[in-house]
Structure 1
């Protein structure tokens, strides 16, 4: 993301997991783990939306941890439709969470779907402070239910995951969805607005 980005490998359930860390300039407020879009469609930790999410959280004082799912970059293993990927996410959480600071989880598209699966598997004591789901994948497979304060942002003109699919998932949970008018799945030309919206909406 910038010259300060650190890259390292940690042990995961099926081998090494490729991770990057970005630190805030100010006092550390928490840790966020961010999950990337679908590996079979070119998704990696360097995805522009994922980097934008990281920038938003670094701006708010969080240590931002991005990682590659199995089979992507230097991460070992092969794609597992979200099941194994949620194992990967839990391994990254275990490696980077800090005992005295809040943990946030964020994801884009397929990464948002996996984030809901992993969050549902954390027990009461390990629950994240809050989730941020950007353009969540809600059509092919249904995400797990999420807490009422989850931040959900979706583009009105999303041509990959229709807004209607995300509203259908959110409706039974009475979960608010922030809609960015005229914006597509990858937030082209709107990344600074997305970053500002995450910062404004987080607390």
Structure 2
């Protein structure tokens, strides 16, 4: 960008900030996070575009060979990060409308929930739907952190399915124990490991040999 374009960009940003302060009841601390997020995404998109053709060219050249790499791996080597196809900053469609809900979680925290369901007008209902969806995120986090589901080295689909099924059975067992004992699933896993280590220190099941 030329110096003149940078000055114009700075003026536009300050004007937008003044508009938000004057015409909304939002504090700067409340709108800074989404605004800065969009600015960062635009920066990342601009940088990734500089390497996109080179990344795609190398990916196609190595595809099907012994040196084949995932496109994400190539992107990290050349650009420092990978931007998936659904992530680039393309600008919001002009005719696309959403409902935006402002939720005051506490005196120091405000959340914003956007939905393309234009018929939705109840903040309480939107919050309940988000809570249900958040359970899915918790499941993904717990099963990855506690069951080793990501560490399967098998190549055959049947063995991978068996590994995933075993991981899910472990997660279900941990959740049942957590519900029965009133503990979190993380406490249950930690106690299992702690009890095992204490037992091994007292009565090792694997004898140690000094060479």
Q: TM-score range by the shorter chain?
A: under 0.3
Structure holding more strand per residue: 1
Structure holding more helix per residue: 2
